[in-house]
Amino acid sequence: MSLSIDPLLCTLCGLCEMACSYYRDEAFSLLSSSVMLFRAEEKKNYFGVILKLEESLVLGRPEGVLEATIGELQSRGGGGASAKPILIREACDGCPDREVPWCVSFCPTGALKREGGA
């Protein structure tokens, strides 16, 4: 089971981050979320979604989705300084006790989707 991101559907509401943090800690603590929203410093109204996986990061930006190792993404400027907190967070486990992961369940626009699995 994996997740996909459609960054053009994201409205930066933050529900995915809050849902993931609540799943992990039963409290709203965004630093425990495997999903993170970011804003780019160099462009007005430019933002994206980062999903931390076990071995890589998935970065959804308006120009497309990029999956790369943490080192590769940093060297490409993936997310800028506002995205660095994702590096200390736990990797997504797909909410194994749920049929649909929390972040997907709470995304009002369908920007996050579940792929594969039953």
Average pLDDT over every residue of 85-99? 87
Q: What DSSP designation does 67 have? A: E
DSSP symbols for 3-65: EEE-TTT-----HHHHHHHHHHHSS--GGG-SEEEEE-SSSTT-EEEEEE-SS-EEEEETTEE
CA dist 14 and 46 (Å) reads: 15
Residue-level pLDDT at 118: 44
Average pLDDT over every residue of 8-28? 92
Q: What is the pLDDT of residues 22-54, one digit of tens each?
A: 999 888 888 889 998 887 766 677 788 888 988
Average pLDDT, the chain: 82
pTM for the full model? 0.80
Handedness of CA 53, 57, 60, 63 (dihedral sign): negative
